[in-house]
Amino acid sequence: MVSVDLNCDCGEGFGAYRMGDDAAMLDIVTSVNVACGFHAGDPEIMAKTFAAAKAKGIAIGAHPGFSDLWGFGRRRLPHTAGEIERLIAYQIGAAGALAAYAGARLAHVKIHGALSNIAAEEESIAQTVARAIKTVGKDLAFLVPAATKLEQAGLAQGLSVAREIYADRAYTDAGLLMARSLPGAVLHDAGEAATRAVSMISEGAIIAASGKRLRTRIDSICVHGDTPGAVAMARAVRAKLEEAGIAITPFARQ
């Protein structure tokens, strides 16, 4: 039977501010990527999110990114390779500590926002990211955008690599995410996103906005938790996958 993981970025509030409906998303997904305090999140939110995920048997991951609360980690900030390596190491350490505090354990790492977009295209940054994960958490799975430099770097560093696609984002012909500033870059129609996700899993390919297919292995589908209608989107994607006979299971051991 064909199977796939369904993951979501969670814990992306800060202090009194909340982003998305994590409780509802945890009833739908099989893996979560928890913000580590740099682009969003804080110790209280992290611990509570880890504990809630553990209680539901959901695989838990760290979601490090640029130190950019103001821009939600979606701005390209100037950093050296060494600085990026230490930013990631720091955040994985924080996530591991708060997961342990909640009686849980980290299973994987997924890079957030602008840092992920840069590393998906630039080999040197991709290698820096993978090296940071290998150094501080070599047993952690590395959840990467499929068919990118990050996938290649993770494999080169000997990490356990899982490849993801996005249900609610459009792709370029190169297999990269379209910039959010472009029309149609973010999909808002739950039915459309769900149908496209099933097609990509069934065909084993990224489907670009132009219709071009890029063959790739797909281990996980991401549904963003911070977009309007995120819960309805996630439910529609899961329902459509199950309707197509595709099993929903975590890609990493819990």
Q: Say yes or no to pLDDT of 142 above 90.
A: yes
Which CATH number do you get for residue 116? 3.20.20.370
DSSP line for 8-56: EEE---BTTB--S-HHHHTTT-SEEEEE-SSSS--HHHHHHHHHHHHHT
56 within domain boundaries: yes
Quote the CA–CA distance of 209 and 240 in Å, as a whole number.
20
Say what the pLDDT of residue 83 is: 97
Q: How does the average pLDDT of the chain come out, rounded?
A: 94
Each residue's pLDDT tens digit, 161-178: 999 999 989 999 999 999
193 within domain boundaries: yes
Quote the CA–CA distance of 91 and 254 in Å, as a whole number.
20
157 within domain boundaries: yes
22 within domain boundaries: yes
Say what the pLDDT of residue 6 is: 97
- Domain holding 158, by residue range, is 3-248
- Reported as a pLDDT band with limits 50, 70 and 90, residue 230 is confident
Global pTM? Answer: 0.95
Contact between 163 and 146 under an 8 Å Cβ cutoff? The reply is yes
163 within domain boundaries: yes
- What dihedral angle (degrees, nearest 10) is formed by the CA atoms of 63, 72, 156, 95? -20
253 within domain boundaries: no
Average pLDDT over every residue of 127-136: 97
Q: 213 - beta bridge partners? A: 207
Q: How many domains does the chain have?
A: 1
Average pLDDT over every residue of 57-68: 97
- Find the DSSP H helices in the chain: 22-25, 43-55, 81-101, 113-121, 123-137, 149-156, 190-203, 230-243
| End-to-end CA, the chain | 21
Quote the CA–CA distance of 240 and 82 in Å, as a whole number.
43
Quote the CA–CA distance of 201 and 219 in Å, as a whole number.
9
Quote the CA–CA distance of 62 and 33 in Å, as a whole number.
5
162 within domain boundaries: yes
Say what the pLDDT of residue 20 is: 85
- Reported as a pLDDT band with limits 50, 70 and 90, residue 106 is very high
Say what the pLDDT of residue 19 is: 86
- Reported as a pLDDT band with limits 50, 70 and 90, residue 252 is low
Say what the pLDDT of residue 224 is: 79
42 within domain boundaries: yes
